[in-house]
Chains A and B, each alone.
Chain A
Amino acid sequence: MNRQGMLILAVLGVGAVIGAPFAIPAYITQLSFLWLMVLFALTWDIMGGQMGYNSFGNIFFFGIGAYVCAVIQRDAGLDWHVAFFIGMAAAAALGVIAAAILGSGMLGLRGQYFAIATLGLGIAGGEIASGWDYIGAGSGLVPPLYPGVLGAREMFFYFLFLVLAIICFFTLRRLYSGRFGLAINAIRDDEDKAESMGLHTTRYKTIAWCVSAFFLAMAGAGAGNMIGFIDPRDVAFAGLTFGVWMVLMAILGGKGTLWGPVLGAAIFHITQELFWTYLLGWQRVALGLLIIVIVVFFPTGILGWVRERYPEKFGQAVDAEAQGAAMGEKAEP
């Protein structure tokens, strides 16, 4: 594709995402959720895909974000917008601090230990939140209502999540293309070697988790308000829905790629909205089955499969020589 074609495509894309809520206002909440899903998949992929550290407890930061923001909105007594954005900033800050503290201890752990530790983390979050009276305990927390006119609320959250997802995407693109991306990929490929080459692996791992937590906490702050009710186990620390989905979406699209999680999130969300009601409660069974099938039979995901098939299309994203070596010299120009 030439430069002009790319530009046209980009303009069309921007037009579509901005115009979508006006064109199909009935689906605006679903569209907002789509961007939330993109955020989930992208943030999971930082650890799970690019760094090879399966985290089953990233939802922990989402929950922290949701609660921190809602508590500030409840207790600050400020104008809704001011309180919301202060709450969001505080959520992001606390998410990063939590990731840094937990990470400095837990991320010295190697992959398998880390994976199970995170599995416990998400559950522990839900358990603690549902026992803590200050944040509403088991009966949850209701953030203050959005003050605008009818319909403005949905618009606000659509653009909030759109902007968040776009910022997240470009931040990650910037990070992956530099030293940070190389470092975390090196950790995925061989952590011992990376460390013996002088890479501060624990530091990089912690930073990666902080980035993940930063966006997840902000997403949580927004999502708590968008959903309008923060239940400790079903919304904030929803390990069985959001927590599993983020894994599935990232591996479905292709873990370890930038566009893969976006694609996976879009496909998953659309299929879920269209067909899942027909499964009548068997959705979660299908979810588990889908994870098994993808991991066992399509471990590279959709985008990974396309990349293996047409490596030359990825010439810009991947070093041609390395690609050729990896793909058995298929990519000879």
Chain B
Amino acid sequence: MDNVLILVNQPVIFLQVAIDGILFGSILALVAYGMALVWGVMKVINIAQGEFVMLGGYVALKFADAGLSPLWAVPAATVILFAVGWILYWLVVRWVVDKDIFISLLATFGLSIFLQQIVNQIFSADVRTAESGLVSRSFLDDRLVVAEIKVLAFVLAAIVGGILWVFLARSRLGQAIRATAQNARAARIMGVDTNHVYAMTFGLNAAICGGAGALVAMTWVIHPYLGLSYLVRSFMIVVVAGLGNLPGVIVAGLGLGAAENFAGFVFGAEYQAAFIFSLLVVILVWRNWRLGRQRRYLK
């Protein structure tokens, strides 16, 4: 409980933890938005979501190893992961997209193991980080430290989210995607090539995750087994926010980032993972309890 007292008595530390958490939360919101997109449009819960993040991170790592600034890796990872997602759609997801959800869960589960283990074989299980070359800035007599890269990640995440929102609202393909989400069969009747829409949606999701992953690699750390925690986090955010609720996803994402950071500070970093997974169970049970209460009114 000492750590709670520190938080209460030292507002600067409180501010530090909150800022770090919120900056991290922007990336979570991005990944969660991709998941909500695939879930809403394709009715598929992509278990390999976190693995896309991880792949994006390794693209940034490759850039750093090659001596290039990993900042270029963000657009590169976006493009490469778009291709990966597009190909994976035609190879795997296409066959399960209209089957029931148990099948697509299992298929994307297989996909996640496959991607994770391939990366594990190629890059080994070491925890790595891509050096961005950016420095940290201090405020308030050096008591508050903010890494520039984290701010940059936040800004980039906001930009990507903004572009995506405009794309979905304005472009023709974006309209087709939204139409398919509302009713795939009706969209097909109206001449929308739903298979193409699905492929683009899945690619788009992978691209978002890839960009986010590159930012993760520069800002925090990356390793092959990272995927699951991002899947769980983005799933939580979508469950709390609801599908197709962009402001909700942003708020929930930033909130989760902050909550996680506070939990890590209070309970110790080694329990942060356990906190995330326990929170997942709590959120789902809470959601269920709330739904159950609504049901009771019907009786």
Interface residues of A (CB under 8 A from B): 48, 52-54, 56, 102, 105-106, 108-109, 111-113, 115-117, 119-121, 123-124, 127-128, 131, 240, 244, 247, 251, 281-282, 284-285, 287-292, 294-297, 299
Contact = CB atoms under 8 A, between A and B. Distances in A.
Given A111-B102, A281-B121, A285-B114, A127 B271 contact: yes
Contact of B270 (A53, A131, A295, A297): A131
A295 B281 contact: no
Q: Which has the most chain B C-beta neighbours within 10 Å: A48, A108, A290?
A: A108
B281 A117 contact: yes
Chain B interface bracket (under 10, 10 to 19, 20 to 34, 35 or more): 35 or more
Interface in B266-284: 270-271, 273-274, 276-278, 280-281, 284
Contacts of A54: 102, 105-106, 109
A113 B281 CA distance: 10
A115 B281 CA distance: 11
Contact of B235 (A116, A284, A299): A116
Contacts of A120: 232, 276-278, 280-281
B113 A131 contact: no
Contact of B114 (A105, A131, A281, A288): A288
Q: Give chain B's interface secondary structure class.
A: helix
B277 A108 contact: no
A113 B277 CA distance: 13
A295 B101 contact: no
Given A52-B102, A115-B105, A296-B107, A121 B114 contact: no
Contacts of B121: 281-282, 285
B92 interface: yes
A240 B110 CA distance: 12
B281 A106 contact: yes
Top 8 closest pairs, chain A to chain B, by CB: A288-B114, A291-B110, A288-B113, A124-B277, A120-B277, A292-B110, A127-B274, A284-B117
Contacts of B127: none
Given A105-B289, A109-B288, 11 more contacts: A111-B105, A115-B45, A116-B235, A117-B284, A124-B274, A247-B109, A284-B120, A288-B115, A291-B107, A295-B96, A295-B107
